[in-house]
Structure formats: C-alpha cells, structure tokens
Amino acid sequence: MHSDWLWVIFTLAAALAQTLRNATQRGLIAGLGATAAAHVRFLFGLPFGLAFLAALLLLTGQMPPRPSLVALGWMLSGSLMQILGTALMLSAMSERSFVVTIAYTKTEPVQVALFGIVMLSEKLTLPLIAAILIATSGVMIMGWPARQVPGMDRHRLKPALLGMASGAFFAMAAISFRGGILALQAENYILAAITTLAIGLLMQTAMLTAWLALRDRRALREIIQAWRPSLGAGFLGAVASAFWYLAFALESAARVRTLALVEILFAQIVSRNMFRQKTSPRDAIGIVLVVVGVVILLNS
C-alpha cells in the first residue's frame, strides 16, 4: 500500500476535511466561545477515532502497537499544542474573515521546517525551501492588510498575531505527532497513524474536559446540548486528523504541511458559498503563488 504519491492523496483529503471542520466550528464560536468550540473537535471526534481504530483492528486482525514512554511523550506534546493552536485559530476567526484567518495560520510550513530540523533532524532541499517560501508568501499576501486604517492595531494586528501564534502551535503539533508515529515503530504505518489518532484524541478530550469542569462547567453543559452540530465537527475533525497522521507516517512534516496550503483554496470556495465572502484581486495573486509553490513541491 506504500506509494511515493500516497501521502499527496492523504494530505489533500486532510486539507479538505479540515476546511469543512473549521467552517463548522466557526459557527459554534458565538454560542460556546473559543475554548469550548475547540473542545468540540476532540470530545465529539473521540468516538470516531476509537471506531476507526476498532474497525482497522477487526479488518487486519492485528493488535495495536504498545506505545513507549517516548511515543506517549510526543503524543502528549502534540495533543497540547493542537489544543492551543485550535483555540487561537478560532479566536482569530471571531476577529477576521474565515479565509484571512486561515491565511494567517498558514505561516505554519516555515515554522514546521524549522522545528523539524531542530526536533527530528529532518533535512531541507533547495526546491523544498523555495516551495515553502513562495507558497507562504501567497497566503501572507492574502492576509496582510491592504492599507493602514484607523484602529488597525486593534482590528488587524490582534487577529494577525493570534493566527500566526496558532500556526506556531500547529507546527509543533505536526512535528510532535510525526515523532509519536515514528516512535511507535509499527510495521503497519496505517495502524501506527490510527493508533496515534485514538490516543491523541483521548488525551485531548481528557485535558479539555478537566479544564472546563474546573473553570467553566456551564460551557461543558452547552457543548453537550449543542451535540447535533458538534457531531459533524467531531467527525470531520477525526477524519482530517486520520489523514494528516497517515501523511506524516509516509513523508516529512515540512512537505506535508507545505502541500496543505491548498487548504487556502478550499477555504476560498467555502467562504464564497457559505459566508458570501468575495475574492479580491490580491487574493487571486496569493492563490497563484500558493499553486506555484505546490507545483514546485510536488516536482522537487
């Protein structure tokens, strides 16, 4: 089942599922708040993650790999970083448009590349560096303010900082989950990825449930009451994470997260159809740069 191009399919599927999940979660922010809305993807994603693992075990007849303390450490780090990244992203979405927020978070590939060198000793080639810089420039053009306006510090800078901080946490999460998958040392990469998914969701659900139980029990009750829309976000979140981890099992985090910039194209489609947000000429230039960067990446 291993293929040089299989990671591309997994990444594209993950980006599409994540775009739809983000759009679903965005609608929950007003009623639940950023932290509670972030919890939705984990709490309601956990049953699906466990179901994916159970189905895989039944189909293959295998037992899940027994995680070492090193693997669990990577997964715990990834789980915490992903929680923080999601909360910051949803906070930024409440300040700016859907597409612009996604653009800010997509400074992530540059940070993934740097963290990958430091944490996993991954190597970068010149074509990969060019692809990262060109594609990231595209999303920054889409997200950068067109001109200085009154109140920019409050209305423009804050969501920019939230979005870029979110990207940093997502970058560390990507590196950590890839580290966890590799540390499992499983013969079957699919089993390693789905096991990491189930353990990660279990950790994230436990952490955020405990946090809200101590700090905001009302929000926890409201999450349960909003189970219908939350169920969709949880399912999409579990599907997106499953495909991300499958891609991480086959390819470096830097390449996966650079290709993942196609999410900005999916976000444009969603914003036009769901949120009635128009695409400007500058957005079009940014999209072209993203596409050029992805083409370089796939041919590197």
Count of structural domains within the chain = 1
Any domain includes 1: no
* Interval 263-290: pLDDT, tens: 777 777 766 655 455 556 777 787 788 7
Please tell me the least confidently modeled range out of 69-73, 78-82, 167-171, 219-223. Answer: 219-223
Look at residue 27 and tell me if it is in a domain.
yes
Residue 94 lies in a domain: yes
Which of 100-109, 224-233, 290-299 has maximum average pLDDT?
Answer: 224-233
Q: DSSP string of 20-77?
A: HHHHHHHTTHHHH-HHHHHHHHHHTTHHHHHHHHHHHHHHH-PPPP---HHHHHHHHH
* pLDDT value of residue 71: 96
d(CA 177, CA 249): 9
**CA angle (122 as vertex; 141, 78 as ends), nearest 5:** 75
Confirm whether 231 is domain-assigned: yes
pLDDT above 80: residue 184: yes
**Which residue in this structure is represented by tokens 């669990």?**
72
Concatenating the DSSP letter of every residue in 77-138 gives HHHHHHHHHHHHHHHHHTTS-HHHHHHHHTTHHHHHHHHHHHHH-----HHHHHHHHHHHHH
Residue 271, domain member (yes or no): yes
Higher per-residue pLDDT: 297 or 154:
297
Looking at per-residue pLDDT, the higher value among 32 and 50 belongs to: 50
What does the pLDDT average to over 92-100? 61
Taking the C-alpha atoms of residue 143 and residue 161, their distance in angstroms, rounded to an integer, is: 12
Domain that holds residue 222: 6-299
- Tell me if 155 is assigned to some domain: yes
Q: Which amino acid is at 155?
A: H
